[in-house]
Amino acid sequence: MIYVLNGPNLGRLGLREPGIYGSSTYADLVEMCQTVADDLGLTVDVKQTNAEHEMLEWLYRAADEGADVVLNPGAWTHYNYAVRDACAMLRGKLVEVHISNVHTREEFRHHSVISAVATGVIAGLGFDGYRLALEHIAR
């Protein structure tokens, strides 16, 4: 099982700042991740939450299972040490993904507290970043 976890506001894809995030919806993202996983012979559980405690529980479950995680922490990327510490407990791979190129946006988005405990980071490639993360994990 690979967990594809998405943080706050990502459930609003297609409505939220389409000039930055595009017009594809969260349902489109889920479908794409499931299709890519099927093609790679992987099983994924794609989830989104705006609730920190829920994200923490999902990360703890992945840690306990030794599962790999693709994580788009959303705004939690920049300040959420609880999510960072839960990520540090993971025993499988952790690929941090961002749809937009956070390094070309507002200054506060340039730093991630998650990256230091991630296997790798993909930013700015839209939904393709999720595909690349799953391909990396499949290898």
* pLDDT score for 16: 85
Domain 2-138 has CATH 3.40.50.9100: yes
Confidence of residue 8 (pLDDT cuts 50, 70, 90): very high
Q: Is 60 a catalytic residue?
A: no
23 annotated as belonging to a binding site for a ligand: no
103 annotated as belonging to a binding site for a ligand: no
pTM over 0.75: yes
Q: Quick one: tokens of 113?
A: 């507290």
Arithmetic mean of pLDDT, 12-18? 89
128 annotated as belonging to a binding site for a ligand: no
Dump pLDDT digits (tens) for 87-105.
Answer: 999 999 999 999 988 887 7
* pLDDT score for 18: 84
* Crossing angle of helices 52-65 and 81-88, rounded to 10°: 10
61 annotated as belonging to a binding site for a ligand: no
CA nearest to 126, candidates 40, 19, 41, 35:
19
> Catalytic: which of 3, 26, 98, 130?
98
**Domain parsing of the chain, residue ranges:** 2-138
Q: Is 110 a catalytic residue?
A: no
The CA distance from 13 to 132, in Å, is 19
Pairing mode, if any, of strands 120-123 and 94-98?
parallel
